[in-house]
Amino acid sequence: MLEKVTAFFRDSYVELKRVTWPSRKEIFGSMLVVFIVVGIIMLFIALFDLLLSVIVRTLV
């Protein structure tokens, strides 16, 4: 059992050495895209909620 755990961590360490990590510039660009998309979705949901509440108030 201990051999399997040791082998797992050793293999994981070897795989992590092979990873190509993104640069700070790439991370910032991806983060900016995520924030913009989340903002657009948030705006869409807020407008949809406002529209639905106006419709419900009109009907009730």
How many domains is the chain built from? 1
Q: Which tokens is 17 given?
A: 């050495």
The pLDDT-based confidence of 3 (bands split at 50, 70, 90) is very high
Assigned domain for 48 exists? yes
In a domain, residue 15? The reply is no
Q: Which amino acid type is present at position 48?
A: F
Whether 43 is in a domain gets the answer yes
Share of the chain above pLDDT 90, in %: 95
pLDDT the model gives residue 30: 97
Instruction: Give me the pLDDT at residue 16, please.
Output: 94
For the entire predicted model, the pTM comes to: 0.64
Whether 4 maps to a domain, the answer reads no
Structural domain includes residue 14: no
pLDDT tens digit sequence for 9-32: 999 999 999 999 999 999 999 999
Domain that holds residue 42: 22-60
Q: What is the mean pLDDT of residues 32-60?
A: 97
Distance CA 29, CA 35 (A): 10
Whether 31 is in a domain gets the answer: yes
